[in-house]
Structure 1
Amino acid sequence: MLIMPPTVSVIIPAHNSAKTLGACLEAVRRQRQPVTEVIVVDDASTDDTRAIARRFGCRLLVTGRNAGPAAARNRGIRASTGELLFFLDSDCAPEPDALENALAILRDEPDVACVHGIYALEPLIDDGPVEAYRLLHGHYWRLRNVGRVRTTLFAVCLIRREVFTSVGLFDENLRASEDVELGDRMGDRYGIVLTDTVVCRHDDDSRLGALLRKQFHRSQLLIPVALAERGPAGIRANSPVALVAATLVPATLPLAPLVGGWPAASLLLLALFVVAEPGLLRFVLHRRGPAYAVFFFAVHLLVQLAVVTGAVVGGLRHLADRDFGPTRVTTAKTPR
């Protein structure tokens, strides 16, 4: 009996993605596994994103206002026809075997409904040491969590359409952590695999100020989403011990005058922060050497402080306004 290969729709949400969208679409074109259609959802871009999508002959959907990645992905889902949906961020270029390898996992493990992959260490576009920090850290924590997981990450992800029919679409109330929230809704009904056989090159933040602002804003949804989680916690990119140590480093600086002006407590906490994840320390030293490791952990400290600050602000916002967070929490409020 002839078994037809599954139909695959590629869905790419894009907002001001002119820098990377061409490389992303070229990588889709080079996939060994054929795709049925490529849908680019332009989320109200003001650059040449739409022109690039048209040049590649994609199906182009355009939103009237910038509504965020959840809304853009949902529009792509509704417009798509494939049995399987291959999601890519517009700043990611999957390796030629990425889709083929993801499909093999779905074929070999029938209970698995979602396969997502990792970032390569090599950037899509090399923009300097801050981007190298992001890729090193992003590669490390994904690699550390390879296997069966409870979290979905949609930078490069293949998922069965039936999942959305069963658990619903992305929560458009969320502009960050929307993929994490979806994975929690999948719960124990659908297997989720994070694999190092599905790899994409990623163009990440290259300016420190922009990176810290993004981390601050995105982390504001960490607490609201965590409070809505029904099952065990999923993948965590950062060590709780490192987060606490990072928070206490500046908090203990006022103690310096009490010990002759020497910030002993802060230095001890800084040392704890660096060794809190020995695997990460070894990984950075092995990949880039001691000199870069000093830079890496200096940036990492600032990022962790931005994450903690954002999480605290987001938690307070959620307390003051229950509409700030996942819809399944806000719609469950007691009527006034």
Structure 2
Amino acid sequence: MTVTVAAVAIGRNEGDRLIRCLTTLKDQLDRIVYVDSGSSDGSVQAARDLGIEVVELDTTVPFTAARARNAGFEVLKPGGLPDFVQFVDGDCGVEPGWIESALTEFKDRPDLGVVTGWRSEIYPSSSIYNALADFEWHRPAGEIRACGGDMMVRSNMFDALDGFNPTVIAAEDDEFCTRVRKAGFRLTRLPLSMTRHDAAMTRFSQWWQRAVRSGHGFAQVGDLHPDYFVKERRRVVLYGGVLPLVALLSLAFTIPLVLIAVLAIYALSYLRTVRGLQREGLNSSMALHQSVYLSISKFPNLIGMARYHLRKIRGSAMRIIEYK
């Protein structure tokens, strides 16, 4: 029996990155759906010019990547779902041969729900922020707990789980993968290049907003699944909230030893981060540099976590936090 697979690409104002994404998919698949979240750069027409089926999301409803992916999946239902669906972000090009490799992994493994691979940055040396993202993407291969939004899924499983949670604005892929595991399915990362990403982060403000978004994801997904992102939330609260507060109190009450102790804790944490990055393969110079940002990231993470809880208390819509 012939195995069928389709792709759902999502994007907003991705420009040439979207063209690259859709072109790499067309080289490997016949059925592709592009879901656009209110682009103003001609992305919709560019996709149609390539012969791609386009879905334009209702602009009166808050955009989320989860909502976009679900909308693309729904379009595939009439006439019968394909066996598998490859999700990909519009700023990623899919590597040649990836679709075939992922399908091969699914063969004779009915318990396998998600297959992913390695994402890498196209221009990792263009900025420290791109380098940080490139290192972040390269996680160990094998059975995994979660992965990013570039993934191939078993369609009937995705449908049974009602897809992504459309209210989750960040780490929606982690939230989905958590439900996949709880439903008894396995997830695996192949030691293969899957997609090439273009973060296009050149400014500190972009990196900061991305870290705020990550913090929002820690809080929201942690709220839905208390057993997930536990260590991440604890680190953010400790290094982004508790220790700064203790330092301020030590200054206010003139207790220098307490301030010195706080600074020592930060220094030790920084050194542990450096050693950890070196063990994972980064050279000393890059490990020292990246560790600065990983240490600072706890502050925007805390802002993101606080923003989620404030939105929840007020009953506000969970709107996306953009960094591009």
TM bucket (normalised to shorter chain) is 0.7 to 0.9
RMSD after superposition? 3.1
1:279-305 per-position Cα deviation (integer Å, ceiling 9, x unaligned): 632157x43432x33331222222222
**SS of residue in 2 equivalent to 1:115:** strand
What is the 5 A alignment of 1:61-210?
61-65=55-59, 67-80=63-76, 81-120=81-120, 122-123=121-122, 127-139=126-138, 142-143=139-140, 146-154=141-149, 156-186=150-180, 187-204=182-199, 205-210=201-206
Aligned CA distance change for structure 1 residues 74 and 173 (closer, same or farther; 3 Å): same
C-alpha separation in 2, matches of 1:179 and 1:27 = 22
**SS of residue in 2 equivalent to 1:280:** helix
Deviation at 1:238, TM superposition (A): 4.9
Q: Is 1:26–2:26 an aligned residue pair?
A: no
Whether the 8 Å contact between 1:40 and 1:53 is mirrored in structure 2 is: yes
Alignment match, 2:44: 50
C-alpha separation in 1, matches of 2:283 and 2:209 = 26
C-alpha separation in 2, matches of 1:320 and 1:95 = 43
Q: Which amino acid aligns with 2:165?
A: D
Deviation at 1:262, TM superposition (A): 11
Deviation at 1:55, TM superposition (A): 3.4
Deviation at 1:14, TM superposition (A): 0.9
**SS of residue in 2 equivalent to 1:119:** strand
Deviation at 1:160, TM superposition (A): 1.1
Percent identity between the two aligned chains:
20
TM-score normalised by L of structure 1 = 0.79
**SS of residue in 2 equivalent to 1:20:** helix
C-alpha separation in 2, matches of 1:44 and 1:193 = 33
C-alpha separation in 2, matches of 1:123 and 1:271 = 33
User: What is the aligned residue count?
Assistant: 309
**SS of residue in 2 equivalent to 1:10:** strand
Q: Which amino acid aligns with 2:219?
A: I
TM-score normalised by L of structure 2 = 0.82
C-alpha separation in 1, matches of 2:193 and 2:278 = 24
Name segments (4+ residues, structure 1) moved above 4 Å: 236-243, 246-249, 259-263, 322-325
Q: Which amino acid aligns with 1:233?
A: Y
C-alpha separation in 1, matches of 2:23 and 2:125 = 18
Alignment match, 2:301: 307
C-alpha separation in 2, matches of 1:248 and 1:207 = 28
Alignment match, 1:331: none
Q: Which amino acid aligns with 1:200?
A: T
Aligned CA distance change for structure 1 residues 101 and 170 (closer, same or farther; 3 Å): same
1:104-130 per-position Cα deviation (integer Å, ceiling 9, x unaligned): 21115331011122322x425764222
